[in-house]
């Protein structure tokens, strides 16, 4: 059974609140009503070093199912009922979503605290 847990980015304090649980929630809402939060769900997966992977994490992704050897830093998103990596296809210039199980993955940051990683990867 997959563990359901969340973390939250505090827009006001600009900090990540890890492991949002019943002590920080009151009927599904954070107890501090004066701040706005962005919630991110745990994917149920761990990276190659054992770190939990959440929505919004930035992953160093190295393909394991293709012959082309390349790596990229991509954001974990939830799309069409599953967690995946948002990938811009160079051939068609479309954005597609690729399943996380196609890669060796390493969490290198998140989209709130490490925006520069996404910008430098493009």
Residue 119 DSSP code:
H
Whole-model pTM: value is 0.75
pLDDT digits (tens, 9 = 90+) for 52-75: 999 999 998 877 766 555 678 888
Alpha carbon 47 to its chain's center = 11
pLDDT in the model for residue 49: 92
* Alpha carbon distance 23, 87 (integer Å): 36
Q: Is the pLDDT of residue 113 over 80?
A: yes
Q: Is the pLDDT of residue 42 over 60?
A: yes
Given the candidates 2.60.40.1120, 2.30.30.290, 3.40.50.720, 3.40.50.80, the CATH classification of the domain at 6-121 is 2.30.30.290
Tell me how many degrees the CA angle 19-42-23 measures, rounded to the nearest 5.
25
């Amino acid at each position: 059974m997959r563990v359901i847990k969340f973390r939250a980015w505090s827009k006001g304090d600009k900090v990540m609140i890890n492991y949002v649980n019943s002590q920080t929630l009151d009927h599904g809402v954070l107890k501090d009503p004066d701040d706005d939060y962005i919630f991110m769900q745990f994917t149920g997966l761990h990276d190659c070093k054992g770190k939990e992977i959440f929505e919004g994490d930035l992953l160093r992704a190295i393909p394991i199912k293709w012959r082309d050897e390349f790596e990229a830093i991509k954001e974990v998103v939830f799309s069409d009922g599953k967690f995946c990596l948002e990938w811009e296809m160079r051939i068609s210039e479309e954005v597609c979503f690729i399943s996380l199980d196609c890669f060796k993955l390493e969490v290198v940051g998140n989209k709130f605290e490490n925006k520069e990683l996404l910008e430098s990867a493009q």
